[in-house]
Chains A and B, each alone.
Chain A
Amino acid sequence: MTLDRRSFLKLVGAGAGAAGAVGLPMIGQAAELMPKSAKRVVVIGGGYGGTIAAKYIRMMDKSIEVVMIERNDHFVSCPFSNLYIGGVITEMGTLTIKYDKLTANHGVKVVQAEVTAIDPAGKSVTTSKGTIAYDRLVVSPGIDFRLEEMKGYDAAAMEVMPHAWKAGPQTVLLRKQLVDMKDGGTVVMTVPLAPYRCPPGPYERASMIAHYLKQNKPKSKIIVLDANPDITSKGGLFKKGWKDNYEGIIDYRPAKKVTEVDAKAMAVMVEGLEEVKGDVINVIPPQRAGQIAVAAGLVGDDKNWCPVNATTFESTKHAGIHVIGDACVAGAMPKSGYSANSEAKICATNVVALLNGKETTELSGINVCYSYITDKDAVSVAGVYTVKEGKIIAVPNSGGVSPADFSAAKTEAMYAESWLKNILTEMST
């Protein structure tokens, strides 16, 4: 005699369900926004992870209703936003997608609202427009900042010292400050301790800012205060790229953890001791999973990131809720846009299987990430991922970074453009 999976879950689920009924206090007052009739997956977040999870669930099973909740009516890509900051691309439109074709082509229902609470026991999400019930929930909220670790960095300070680590108005602001800066000025950039969103991102940004300064304000320089002991990703490549292109422009200082900012004095403090002043200051604060994941109790013992099952991306904290993208702990898969894309498809496959009482499928994932050094040279890191003993690992003897001599950098810059085109098209059509 064999039990099928669904009966097994029913059998064992009773106990698990009772134990799992902790969660948040019910906010019973909000009206139900859209009554549920069929099987429904709710996706929180319309970025690199959320759009793909929503689309692929619908591609795999049209009988499942998918509701994607996103606070904005569009999404701006962090990948390539450093090129806007450096003036290599001039239109934010290049980085921006809308959701209308996800609805037209795949029937994804898009709700523009703020999610304020998740009720894991009652299987519903509270939004600024009302509650939405789900059978399974996919949470792809990206990151928020650990502002308590960066004294003085409040909402007002962000308008003076942009982080630009969520693309959009912050990206435009940092660009404008660079354009307005006098020649001979100093740009200061702070890098938080890993893990943070996009490991090579800060170093690409330093490259793009240096590229702009070299072309337009050659007496200026950029000081990079990095909390990490060394460059977090593609270290050898960035060092060579900087030496070949930006000698005397990029002043890289490792193991300099900025803990405090003074927006009025235009200064940052390293460990509360050493003051560094700048004409333009880009503060990239320490990060954690997006606020809604924290509020819903999805973060692990570190209080920052969400532990998940390595096959289904189901939260180990709350059953029925899956966490993907920057917010989750995905083993060897880095916090990148491509990882989020890949994780979303793995998650979608298994959400559909679980909803249909079918067998789940083991993960096979990819990460591909390009960083520009100049406007015409890019370097990459690529990896293939699998699961071993419940952990996501890189497939041995595969993956890696670009050749150290930059022999592929011009070609990779061309491939990178198509990378953006394809991944944004995937998310929006």
Chain B
Amino acid sequence: MMMKWRGWALATGVLAVSAMAQAAPPTAAMLSNACAGCHGTNGGSAGPTMPSLAGQSKEAIEVAMKKFKSGERPGTIMGRLAKGYSEAEVTAMAEFFSKQKLHPTSQNLDKAKIAKGASLQESNCGRCHIEDGKEGKDDTPAMASQWLPYMQMQMADYLSGKRTMPEKMKEKVDPMSKEDIEALLHFYASVK
């Protein structure tokens, strides 16, 4: 009986088909959709402490995941999750989210702070956080429309030394007052 089945399968090429029925490896969408429970559908976050990934730069996500994985960037669950993915899988997810449309957020922001932040951005941060923070140079993350509470939490980590600032960022941030930094974050959050 078994031989008969095998013979029939070989003759008809069904073995090739059953290999296909084993399913393709996870696609970028399969990998990325799993993140959306926390980061929102297609990476557009509705939760103020959870960053949007939609429209984020591919390089920024790759670097973030790498640093979460190694522990260089402090995190809570992200370190544990990042360890579950290969480099190729991270790249696939980073590409997926970078292709999504920027997620506009509706936040309570201070107009005066936005105006102050806009001028600070231009003179201090614009070389890396280009296009008003809609894009980033190399692995610089896009900041536009990002949630203010999330950025405030990250900035607190930078200032306390828990998270290491890139050299160029440190040069700009060190002389700034708390008010300056707050104004900058309001500005980035306001960019649509």
Q: Which A positions have Cβ atoms within 8 angstroms of B?
A: 1-5, 8, 55-56, 59, 311, 338, 341-342, 345-346, 349-350, 359-366, 368, 380, 382-384, 386, 394-395, 397-400, 402, 408, 411-412, 414-415, 417-423, 425-426, 429
Contact = CB atoms under 8 A, between A and B. Distances in A.
Contacts of A420: 47
A380 B38 contact: no
A415 B49 contact: yes
A164 B77 CA distance: 28
Contacts of B20: 5, 359
A350 B45 CA distance: 25
B17 interface: yes
Nearest to B77: A382
A100 B118 CA distance: 39
Contacts, number: 150
- Residue of B24, B81, B84 with most partner-chain A CB within 10 A: B84
B13 A360 contact: no
Given A394-B84, A426-B37, A429-B41, 11 more contacts: A1-B12, A3-B14, A59-B41, A349-B29, A360-B23, A362-B25, A365-B34, A384-B84, A398-B84, A399-B84, A414-B49
A429 B81 CA distance: 26
The 4 closest A-B pairs by CB, nearest first: A418-B47, A384-B84, A398-B84, A398-B83
Nearest to A408: B76
B39 interface: yes
Given A5-B17, A341-B37, A364 B26 contact: yes
Interface string B150-169: 00010000000000000000
Interface of B: 12-14, 16-17, 20-21, 23-27, 29-31, 33-41, 45-50, 76-77, 80-85, 89, 149, 153
A361 B30 contact: yes
A251 B12 CA distance: 67
A344 to B, nearest CB: 9
Given A56-B33, A360-B21, A399 B47 contact: no
Nearest to A379: B76
A398 B85 CA distance: 9
A241 B29 CA distance: 38
Contacts of B47: 417-422, 425
A422 B80 contact: no
B83 A422 contact: no
B30 A398 contact: no
Contacts of B50: 415, 418-419, 421-422
A208 B179 CA distance: 38
A342 B153 CA distance: 27
Given A2-B17, A368-B37, A361 B81 contact: no
A364 B23 contact: no
A418 B26 contact: no
B41 A419 contact: no
A338 B37 contact: yes
A202 B60 CA distance: 39
A418 B84 contact: no
21 contacts: A2-B16, A3-B12, A4-B17, A8-B21, A59-B41, A345-B36, A349-B29, A359-B23, A361-B27, A362-B30, A364-B31, A366-B34, A368-B37, A382-B77, A395-B84, A398-B82, A400-B80, A419-B37, A420-B47, A422-B37, A429-B41
